[in-house]
Amino acid sequence: MIGPGTGYKIEAKFSGNNPEMLRQLSEKARNVMVNDDVAITIRDDWRQQTQVIKPIVSETMARQTGITRPTVADSLLMSFSGKTVGLYREDDNLIPLVMRLPKNERKQAAQIHDMQIFSEETSTHIPLHQVVNDIQISWENPIIRRLNRKRTLTVQCDPAYGNASPLFNRLRPAIESIPRPHNYELEWGGEYENSTEANESLMKMVPLFLLFMVLIILAMFNSIRQTAIVFLCLPLATIGVAAALLATGEPFGFMCLLGFLGLSGMLIKNAVVLIEQINLDLASNKPLLNAILDSSVSRFRPVCMAALTTVLGMMPLVGDPMFSGKSITIIGGLSFGTVLTLIVIPVLYAIFYRAERT
């Protein structure tokens, strides 16, 4: 399950309307990840909630003093973090211009009641406590992310070692079994999303190129039966691929799919070589069965040597974290496919052309 990196290899995306419910779902998913010893760097992309101070403006006093809510908000910004009043361009960089009170005039949170607000209507400074009914302290989400216009909280983690697929396969059933209210969705991101998108993009082109391959083989042999013999061996090669992946514990991901597509070309090449030799022997007036047997024997060494050199070339990549799936797919499929080429193709040729023992 390998694709372009996005920072975290496993991501569970919860989408819904209520931020508090999304926080609860996130906490349950994080607990599932914490209970797995392989999961590390567990976090969510909304970060921790922060405390905020909310003055409750008195509408009556605000009208009497000519102070509006934006005026209160601007005064609070300038007394604490500062208010952005413009941008300064330096080459290609935009630097914000922030205006705030001098350090010795900035108020602490405990002194917010005494903060002075300038009223343009009365041209005087008025203490904040005269225009507010109450000052509340509450917790707020500093970041709220959206996906497809829905609030989306993403729980993320990485494996401590190895590929993400084994860890993902353990976490997925447990996280998907978390009860979710109606209209709350769960989507998977990270490597799973990247691999799925890459596979879908790749599979859109496979039928077109498969058609081109069929037309090329058909034009080469000018025979539907011989073309069918060539392509009937490809599904059987999955036996060797599956056996190799099961023996090594490697998941069938994007790189394995690429390896299988390359393997298809190698097997077709071996099949073409053998069938072409059979046709040459038939052109020299050999009986059909003798031509099949002699061609299989004469092509045995070239086919095996070609397969052996390819297998040896893939061996150094078996331990590579990125290309191990591709190399294992080619090694297992080509090793078993060579046997298919030398046994199954002669058998299919004899069946399709009804070879009789002389």
Q: What is the pLDDT of residue 174?
A: 93
Query: Does the residue 258 lie in any domain?
Result: yes
Q: Note every long-range contact of 226-229, with CB atoms under 8 Å and residues 24 or more positions apart, other chains counting.
A: 226/275, 226/279, 226/349, 226/352, 228/352, 229/271, 229/275, 229/345, 229/348, 229/349, 229/352
Q: What is the pLDDT of residue 3?
A: 44
pLDDT (tens digit, 9 = 90+) per residue, 334-348?
888 888 788 888 888
Q: Which CATH number do you get for residue 80?
A: 3.30.2090.10
Domain count, the chain: 3
Q: What is the pLDDT of residue 179?
A: 93
Residue 148 shares a structural domain with residue 27: yes
Residue 232 shares a structural domain with residue 346: yes
pLDDT (tens digit, 9 = 90+) per residue, 50-82?
888 888 888 888 888 888 888 888 888 888 878
Residue 334 shares a structural domain with residue 235: yes
Query: Does the residue 207 lie in any domain?
Result: no
Residue 15 shares a structural domain with residue 38: yes
Query: Does the residue 216 lie in any domain?
Result: no
Below-70 pLDDT ranges, the chain: 1-6, 107, 357-358
Query: Does the residue 338 lie in any domain?
Result: yes
Q: What is the pLDDT of residue 2?
A: 44
Residue 67 shares a structural domain with residue 54: yes
Query: Does the residue 176 lie in any domain?
Result: yes
Q: How far apart are the C-alpha atoms of 180 and 163, rounded to whole Å?
A: 29
Q: What is the pLDDT of residue 107?
A: 66
Q: Which CATH number do you get for residue 256?
A: 1.20.1640.10
Q: What is the pLDDT of residue 165?
A: 82
Residue 151 shares a structural domain with residue 41: yes
Residue 259 shares a structural domain with residue 136: no
- Phi first, then psi, for residue 29 (nearest 5°) are -65, -40
Q: What is the pLDDT of residue 28?
A: 94
84: left (phi over 0), alpha (psi -120 to 50) or beta: beta
Q: How far apart are the C-alpha atoms of 157 and 36, rounded to whole Å?
A: 11
Residue 30 shares a structural domain with residue 163: yes
Residue 133 shares a structural domain with residue 104: yes
Query: Does the residue 154 lie in any domain?
Result: yes
Domain span holding position 166: 10-45+144-193
Residue 307 shares a structural domain with residue 255: yes
Q: Which CATH number do you get for residue 150?
A: 3.30.70.1440
SS3 for the chain, per residue?
A: CCCCCCCCCEEEEEEECCHHHHHHHHHHHHHHHHCCCCEEEEEECCCCCEEEEEEEECHHHHHHHCCCHHHHHHHHHHHCCCEEEEEEEECCEEEEEEECCCHHHCCCHHHHHHCEEEECCCCEEEEHHHCEEEEEEEEECCCCCEECCEEEEEEEEEECCCCHHHHHHHHHHHHHCCCCCCCCEEEEEHHHHHHHHHHHHHHHHHHHHHHHHHHHHHHHHCCHHHHHHHHHHHHHHHHHHHHHHHHHCCCCCHHHHHHHHHHHHHHHHHHHHHHHHHHHHHHCCCCHHHHHHHHHHHCHHHHHHHHHHHHHHHHHHCCCCCCHHHHHHHHHHHHHHHHHHHHHHHHHHHHHCCCCCC
Residue 156 shares a structural domain with residue 277: no
Query: Does the residue 63 lie in any domain?
Result: yes
49 and 139 in contact (C-beta within 8 Å)?
yes
Domain boundary among 124, 140, 156: 140
Residue 186 shares a structural domain with residue 229: no
Query: Does the residue 272 lie in any domain?
Result: yes
